[in-house]
Chains A and B, each alone.
Chain A
């Protein structure tokens, strides 16, 4: 999950940077009054960073932490580890 989300962030950000670097004309396309594709995508990069961190925290709270708690319990009953 963590590596999947990392890959997601890399794709989103470098997608944006590659467009800036190689397709500046596309980003200049106006979207009605006062907005361009570039401005919209830039704001979406920030929003997607929020969405990805929120997804991770939700996953960690619902799946990861309970699994860890079970593992910790097994560890204790097995009498293993420091």
Chain B
């Protein structure tokens, strides 16, 4: 997500002073080809083990807690957070910390409130949980709307980001880069399902953490392995202001609204929630979030070192000369400290990172279409044998085509804004309904469904009225809604809608259904 940082990439052009960027680079392409070969090999291996819907969506529940911890981290840490945070810190210092902390603090919430009930109540999608004791048809349709809206905006952000970054890193034209990402993602998901996606994410997580750790160690070695010496050098060079809040947070309410979206958005991201079904039981789900939180926290601490390292060693002016958004800070730092081969490696890691994230997104979108809409709504929970898997594969192809089309269509769009929107929809549409249906006895079918629909529509509507669209896009004088991120209004609104409608339109027999559900929340479906 990383707002405007990636946003500005699209319009930026490589400065002639540093010809290395924006030209086809054999080392980077070589590393990337190796990654593609390894992951396609994994896909070929996984394809032979992916025969049923349970394998396709949930890898046969055979993923261990440790593997799932790495896969969750790989699913979550996008190129935006790697290149974007490092870039943001390298050009504006402290302000980047607001994002690195915000993206981490959602994880404890996922662990405390969501992971175990989700694993115990559901099969493939988060809608399984909301629908567990309610009437399935309205709940599943509403949940699919929230899921697909979240995924659409997240996909746009990743595809547009991929196209722009890959053009800068490899010198491949934007449209070709989007096409490569779309086709590779389709191959992983279509043939290898969740098992292949899981291993692509694990490989990517190891590469990303390893690459970032190596880079951070190289930076620290220049400062006697003392981060304070690095910060002191940054303050001496760029002024003490880089260690304090800067211009980024001009409106305090915007900061709070963004914080809400980041914290509760994670707990509503369909591709993250889906990963909890791949482990054998709730205790493994718990352990996997613990591991993921450790890895992701470590990663965000390292991006901070990378950002300040790039600020001191490369310099904000040179970074902005290559890319106005600062996205090339980490690759430039890699080249400075490890030469061309290390730059090639980091570039390939960035590409792999995007692939792993879009594969997870496509899989959760396919599950929403085939499991929630086709099998549960159209076939009323009784699909013909093998039919659900076939629909899931068709949905994967359709989603890949849509993702490529959206990537090309939204070229040059404000990426940040799209991911911000995805987190805001996830936090407003999915998270309130999920929490209400598990923890509040009186939640009714009408309440949960309307909460998801109102959450989605309110987020989209408020974004359309916000300064990001009204002023930046349409060039109006002022916006009707003052905040850039709608979460401060849309999350409470979704909770309120769910509560009020549940009280006005209760379900018959709701109490007995909730007691049965409570037992399942604790013990799982087969105690």
| Partner among B105, B231, B286 whose Cβ is within 8 Å of the Cβ of A13 | B105
Q: How far is the CB of A17 from chain B (nearest CB, A)?
A: 4
Closest beta carbon of chain B to A26's beta carbon, Å: 9
- Number of cross-chain contacts by CB at 8 Å: 142
Report which of A17, A36, A72, A82 forms a contact with B98, defined as CB distance below 8 A.
A17
Contact A16 B525 (CB under 8 A): no
State the majority secondary structure of interface residues on A: helix
Query: A46 and B297 in contact (CB under 8 A), knowing A28-B240, A34-B230, A52-B108?
Result: yes
Any A CB within 8 A of the CB of B523? yes
| CB-based contact A17/B229 at 8 Å | no
Q: Per-residue CB proximity of A52-66 to B under 8 Å, as 1/0?
A: 111011001000010
CB-nearest residue of chain B relative to A47? B297
Query: Which chain B positions have C-beta within 8 A of A30?
Result: 240, 243
B94 adjacent to A53 (CB under 8 Å): no
Instruction: Give min CB distance, A79 to chain B, whole Å.
Output: 12
Q: Which residues of chain B (512-527) have a CB below 8 Å from chain A? A: 519, 522-523, 525-527
* Chain B contact residue count (CB 8 A cutoff): 50
* Selected interface stretch from B34-42, B109-117, B346-354, B355-363: B109-117
24 A-B interface contacts by CB (under 8 A): A13-B263, A14-B259, A17-B98, A27-B244, A28-B241, A28-B243, A28-B245, A30-B240, A34-B229, A36-B94, A42-B94, A43-B301, A46-B104, A46-B300, A46-B301, A49-B108, A49-B293, A52-B108, A54-B290, A56-B111, A56-B286, A57-B286, A57-B290, A71-B522
Could you list which residues of chain A lie within 8 angstroms of chain B, going by C-beta atoms?
A: 2-3, 5-6, 9-10, 12-14, 16-18, 20-22, 24, 27-28, 30, 32-36, 38-39, 42-43, 45-47, 49-50, 52-54, 56-57, 60, 65, 68, 71-72, 75-76, 81-82
Known contacts A9-B263, A49-B297, A72-B527; 8 further A-B pairs (Cβ under 8 A): A9-B105, A17-B256, A36-B244, A39-B97, A39-B231, A42-B100, A65-B283, A76-B527
